[in-house]
Amino acid sequence: MLIKFKEKQAANNKAVLYLRYLDNGRYLPLLRVFDLEDTLLLEQDLPETNNLDAYGVIQLSGKKVTIKPRKNDLAQKLEPITFGL
């Protein structure tokens, strides 16, 4: 079951971050990027986690999507995740 966690709308694209809850109590995030006609441009599984601090702000442009970690002490050492479109 997919649960919408975050969504970012830009001029030409829309990025949606979904969560899938696993039997072991961890999350398996899924990133999907759509164009204006809801055509799927990118579908990417993200690393399995039990902490959602790595998934803060979604930045979306015409060429790439970046997911920046939340700004807190627990996510201080985490790096942004970037995918090209």
pLDDT digits (tens, 9 = 90+) for 5-17: 999 999 999 999 9
Largest CA distance in the chain: 39
Highest mean predicted confidence (pLDDT) among 23-27, 31-35, 62-66, 76-80: 31-35
Mean predicted confidence (pLDDT) in 33-58: 91
Domain span at 17: 3-84
Total domains, the chain: 1
pTM for this one? 0.88
Residue 73 scores a pLDDT above 80: no
37 pLDDT exceeds 90?
yes
Q: Answer yes or no: is pLDDT of 72 > 90.
A: no
CA–CA dist 6, 54 (Å, integer): 13
Rounded to the nearest 5 percent, the helix, strand and coil shares of the chain are: 5, 50, 45
Using DSSP's 3-state secondary structure scheme, residue 16 falls into strand
Per-residue burial over 26-47, b if 16 or more Cβ lie within 10 Å, else e, is: ebebbbbbbeeeeeeeeeeebe
